[in-house]
Amino acid sequence: MLGLLLPLLGFAFLDSLNVLNLGVTSAVVYDSRLSRRSALPGGLSFVAGVFAATTTFGVLTVLGIGFVTERVDVEITPPIRYWGQLVLGVVLITVAAVSGSSRPAPPLWAVNLTRRNPWLFAIVGVAIGLGQAVTSVPYLTTLTMVSARQPLPALWPGIILVYCALALLPSLLVLVLSTHRTIRSRRVQRNIVRVTTRYGPVTVRILFLAIGIVLVTGALLNYRYLV
């Protein structure tokens, strides 16, 4: 079990560097300060929407994979394993290469929505969460690793819930800091946003590139199974 949980913690860390989630949360905080109101309703609504979408997608995906594997007898032969490893490595290298340096910004319509009714921001969170769940390489890898364990861990839904919560920690921390009016808390909040925005995407790209190279190299070293 430890061999499963440690990689999942690493993937959750990668997902926590999501610039869009932090950008939306920061926009809610800054807009709330200008309007002299609390950022918690809009911010928590958004975070709850993302959390609900990602956890629901994860649970349904694991159940779906389990349903298929119970009815289809699939034997993971060495050629299948190394071809899958090669494809995954190429995908990770491609993602690292094509990821741009532009910083995602929260949609303007989403910010305007919070001004009218902060609790409706849950809809924005659900939409963004679903988009991230189906495109996040670390999250999809996590779901695949959980599904591959037979039998499934007894607490596998809890693993998905904890993973999604850890991925949202930076956004939650920014919201918590927004409730404090001290100069120190605002400085810490700005540093979290600045560091994550500046170094988060670069860190993810470097790790994707390194993991992709390792996977491709491992597959090519076993080239006899690829022909």
Parts of the chain with a pLDDT under 50? 101-103
pLDDT at res. 1: 62
What does the alpha-carbon distance between residue 16 and residue 9 come to, in Å, rounded to a whole number?
10
| Nearest by Cα to 143 from 8, 2, 1, 3 | 8
What is residue 100's three-state secondary structure? coil
Rounded distance between C-alpha atoms, residue 141 and residue 78, angstroms: 19
Cβ-contact 28, 43 below 8 angstroms: yes
The predicted pLDDT at position 115 comes to 60
157: containing domain: 2-225
Counting other chains too, the contacts that 195-198 makes at CB distance below 8 Å and 24 or more residues apart are 196/17, 196/19, 196/22, 196/170, 197/19, 197/22, 197/23, 197/103
Domains contained in the chain, number: 1
Question: pTM value?
Answer: 0.77
